[in-house]
Amino acid sequence: MGNYRFILSGGGTGGHIYPAIAIANELKKRHPNAEFLFVGAKDRMEMEKVPQAGYKIEGLWISGLQRKLTLKNLLFPIKLISSLLKAGKIVSKFKPHAVIGTGGFASGPLLRMASGRGIPCVLQEQNSYAGITNKLLKDRVAKICVAYDGMEAFFPLDKIVKTGNPVRGDLVTMGADKNVALDFFGLSTNKPTLLVLGGSLGARRINQLIEEKLGYFKGHGIQLIWQCGKLYFEEYKKYDSKEVKVLDFLNRMDYAYTASDLIISRAGASSVSELCIVGKPVIFIPSPNVAEDHQTKNAMALVKENAALMVKEKDLDNDFEKIFTKVFQSEANQNQLAMNIKKLAMPNATVAIVDEIEKLLSK
């Protein structure tokens, strides 16, 4: 049967949106006649990114609870009821054969309504510490696809399948020539290259660190690809030069990864999964401003395997140069980190997740 209908829901951040799009693309490859509908949160980035990927999306009026008492929190019960009613209407009208949730506020009401009607539902949890929406849905879904060991701390063991996280297809087949990649950025082919990733919006503390250390990097003959994020580009573009390429966004991630010798990155789940496939030495600087401090937990899962290094934001002033110098000046350390992180890669995650969805369809 090729005329399946699928609803996918995930949003708020790229870490929830891109896995959902990757899953939809794989389903579409297998079922070219299938119909797809995404459900997101109004006013969040999925309302822009999903149509760009060629899929229809409907928005729910939903947002998360704030940690302190605010007007938004007082509105939360009204938003929740509104979202449950709209999600119910969407499910009744579209009549999906399966529903996939990748986390984020909108997936809660949608999977709640779909599972209540007996529609098979699959969760995809990207982080090593489960998000609140997925924890609330755990008893209502048929399968939970995870990227880390030890997830039985959050979910029923019999529902868990370790698949890894979907990553961009161009990374799995990454085969660009390093000189071509360096040339793309206008960088020298005989200097070590540091890639700095702060996520699509940017990371304030990482940007401050790089600004402070530009002289240090120059002293070590290091050139930079510095993705400072669109929120900070106006502030930092003045540092763009022959040796320092300041960019708000990286359209060619495959070239950025190929060109780099060392990487500094946040530790969001998607970034961690991509970096395992890339297989370069990484220093993680986790964001301390995320729910349950899950970026630190994601990074620690790799640090424990000697597959990456980590510096917490609060320790940057004291520890960054010491840790960076230690890895930069030792080729053996770099090779060890690169080899160990590559061992943790799960490049076939999207295929594995869609295999699980197919099993439910065949039932």
| Residue among 81, 83, 113, 79 nearest 96 (CA) | 113
Name residues whose C-beta falls within 8 Å of residue 8's C-beta, 6 or more positions apart in sequence: 20, 23, 24, 36, 37, 38, 39, 99, 100, 101, 102
DSSP, res 306: T
The Cα–Cα gap between 92 and 36 comes to 15
Does the annotation place 127 within a ligand binding site? Answer: yes
Does the annotation place 190 within a ligand binding site? Answer: no
114 three-state secondary structure: helix
Chain position carrying tokens 């502030």: 235
Does the annotation place 223 within a ligand binding site? Answer: no
Does the annotation place 14 within a ligand binding site? Answer: yes
The Cα–Cα gap between 42 and 40 comes to 6
Residue 263 has phi, psi (to 5 degrees) of -130, 135
The token pair that represents 265 in the structure block: 């990155």
Does the annotation place 54 within a ligand binding site? Answer: no
Question: For 87-100, what is the HEC assignment?
Answer: HHHHHHHHCCCEEE
Sheet holding 223-227, edge to edge: 244-247, 223-227, 193-197, 262-265, 282-284, 309-310
Would you list which residues are annotated within the binding site for UDP-N-acetyl-alpha-D-glucosamine? 13-15, 127, 168, 200, 295
Annotated binding site: 13-15, 127, 168, 200, 295
